[in-house]
Structure 1
């Protein structure tokens, strides 16, 4: 076997990360569990205590572990929002030149999310959606001096309610991250194309109508059309964003 096919040796930090991950997947550790004391865990994993600390720090950065001063190291709740937080870093690095790429991902994910939500939304959640759109109705009354940031906040909340109602926490966490990271692209569209606010409101109302009817297929189509418009605008006008210069 040539050197080209020899795998690079794993670092001791990787050994720690893989070892703790194995303990989690086997059920030896779970959410809220306290890790064994440093000396014992280092011996169990066959690494130095310094390497163990490096691995623990890496897992803490990823939201898997948390160190409590004077009390040891614990597994976090392992909730999707925390574990998927690195996605936010990736999304930040994509801004603003590739905002349309993030919006395309949103479109694909939210089309399925709204389809799931159509059969799972509670009456209270439908009322929340209606109240959120009511906030936008009030904002529109103040045209041309609309509170555009308030509009984007309401827009964001509308999509987050639907994502949570999908019943899939991991999917909801991803969408929550992407919706937040496309704030500037959506605000720029609202600033440069004032008619987009009314268009968005009409599209949101159409989505809500399908959710009230509990129609997954039509809700999916409405969401796809809505987000495709935002995506195409962002792609066509990316160079006009002053922060993209």
Structure 2
């Protein structure tokens, strides 16, 4: 992969600049201890303004990935890869990586939720699905995605494993932007309502294997939507 960065065109320019620099660090193109391109070079390669580049550098310095040396330039910290916060790592994940992580997390989470759920957990899930349905009726894409993520987060919470629930919430903080984009381009997959209702019924009846099957089915439809977006 060349060291040159690609121009970005998005309303979230700073996030995309951060993502590109992180990727170069992760792949070793911007090696530990190496000096990254100068501010004017980054501006020219990325097609963004000075303020966007400076904000991205500031965020990456705060994250422990870069170090600014006054009068010298900006350098990759020697242990940057081990210090990268989970949220930043997730933000540069590919669609395929997101799909695989969802499969690993959500199927097992569904099994655990079926075994460990409480009545309060079930009430929360029902409320999330009701909000999702209302948002879809109103044509509120962001509200639909927010309710969808809240439902899956409620399933994770019902697993009884607080670490798993926290990991899933961190994942969803980043995943929401991706889903907003996916639904805006592909549209709502209405069969997901059937899947989510089936998942809730399986969790309610404490049928762990049925819950896992519905979770897998939902991910299969998600994969189909991803492929439609990539075409």
Determine if the TM-score, normalized by the shorter chain, exceeds 0.5: yes
Q: Deviations over 1:51-83 (max 9, x none)?
A: xxxxxxxxx979xxxxxxxxxxxxxxxxxxxxx
CA 1:119–1:218 in structure 2 vs 1: closer, same or farther (change >3 Å)? same
CA distance in structure 2 between the aligned counterparts of 1:139 and 1:183, rounded to whole angstroms: 15
For 1:68, the equivalent position in structure 2 comes to none
Q: 1:85 to 1:216 in 2, by over 3 A?
A: farther
Is contact 2:132-2:145 (8 Å) kept?
Answer: no
Aligned equivalents of 1:180 and 1:195: distance in 2?
20
Q: Which has the larger radius of gyration?
A: 1
Please tell me whether residue 109 in structure 1 is matched to residue 108 in structure 2: no
- SS of 2:206's equivalent in the other structure is coil
**Shift in Å at residue 105 of structure 1?**
0.8
Deviation at 1:139, TM superposition (A): 2.1
CA contact (8 A) 1:103 1:182 kept: no
Which residue number corresponds to residue 226 of structure 1? 218
Q: Which position in structure 1 is the counterpart of 2:130?
A: 134
Deviation of residue 168 (structure 1)? Answer: 1.5
C-alpha contact (below 8 Å) 1:118/1:215 kept by paired residues: yes
User: How far off is 1:236 after superposition?
Assistant: 4.3
Whether the 8 Å CA contact 1:104–1:228 is kept in 2: the answer is no
Which runs of 5 or more residues in structure 1 are unaligned?
1-59, 63-83, 240-245
Q: TM-score, normalised by structure 2?
A: 0.60
Q: Which among 132, 146, 157 is matched to residue 164 of structure 1?
A: 157
Is residue 102–residue 178 contact of structure 1 (8 Å, CA) maintained in 2?
A: no
Asked whether 1:180 is paired with 2:173, we answer: yes
Note the C-alpha offset of 1:188.
Answer: 2.5
Deviates more, 1:98-107 or 1:154-163: 98-107
TM-score, normalization: structure 1? 0.56
What RMSD over aligned residues (CA atoms) do the two structures have, in Å? Answer: 2.3
Q: How many residues are treated as equivalent by the alignment?
A: 152
Quick check: 1:207 aligned with 2:199?
yes
8 Å contact kept, 1:104–1:231? no
Q: Which has the higher contact order (CA 8 A, sep 6+)?
A: 1
The 3-state SS of whatever aligns with 1:141 is helix
